[in-house]
Every structure is written in C-alpha cells, then in structure tokens.
Amino acid sequence: MKIAIGSDHNAFDLKEELKQFMINNGFDVEDYGCYSCEAVDYPDVSFRVADDIKSGKADRGVLVCGTGIGVAIAAGKVPGIRAALCHDTYSAERAQLSNNAQIITMGAKIIGPEVAKKVLEAYLNVQFEGGASARKIKQITDQEDIYIQQESRS
C-alpha cells in the first residue's frame, strides 16, 4: 500500500516519526513535505496529498499539523476526498471501516508520537467493508456531485 504523508512545520517532527514507523512496517511512503521546521502553509501540502490520492498515485494519506483540523479541512476541499481527524484508535479504525476515509489527520500539539503511531496503525490495518456504510458514502458522494454541478453552472 502506498501512503502519502505531509505536514506543516508545527508537525514536522511527528511526520518524520510516523514516516519512519510506516517504512519500518513495510509501507511504501511518499513524503510531500514539509522538509524542515521552517514555516510552511499546510493547504499546499494537503492539496498535493489529496490530489495524488484522488488520481490513484497513492492509496491513503496521513496529514499532520498543529491540531489536525486545518489539514483535514484543506484535504476535504478536494472533491471525492474524505479526511478524518482522529486522535484515538477507535475513531481511526472507524474512519476507514465506516467512512472509507482516504486520509487520516492528527495534531502534533494534541497527540504524542507513541499514541499517534497506534492511531495510524489502527487506520492502516483495516479495509473499508461496505455494507450499510457504503450506502452512506454514496449519499455523501452523490451530494458532492450535485454541488459540483451547481457550481459549474454558476
């Protein structure tokens, strides 16, 4: 499974730890930045990760910033992308099983590296099962399509 990972400067250290954790566990990881603690705007990184997941260049994504909120909002602006903010293992597992979230987000100022690794592991070790959840995801994507069509007519 190919994982796209990215962060802003507030979460650079956590991103590096999560990246190494995934590599050590056999995942193919692509780093979308940032590459130091020098200030960077998280939307740019979030959009690149989300775009490459949407295009199929990556299977799933991990985005981290100070709170995890900003990267979740930014990634979620890419049509077809579902980004889930998770700071516990149950939410991370459900993000994939119930919501087919392609991206998990976390906040480096909220969660420590060891808990973040457990959250990430919970997310990566499950696959979307469909069932009743598939109906709900279809409702979301159908509504998203309606909004896109309305915008294109404006």
Q: Which residues are catalytic?
A: 65
Side chain identity at residue 121, one-letter code: E
- Spatial contact of 33 and 5, defined as CB atoms under 8 Å apart: no
Backbone angles phi, psi at 75, to 5 degrees: -65, -35
User: Cα separation of 92 and 36, whole Å?
Assistant: 27
Q: Exposed e or buried b for every residue in 39-58, given b needs 16+ CB within 10 A?
A: ebebbebbbbbbbbbeeeeb
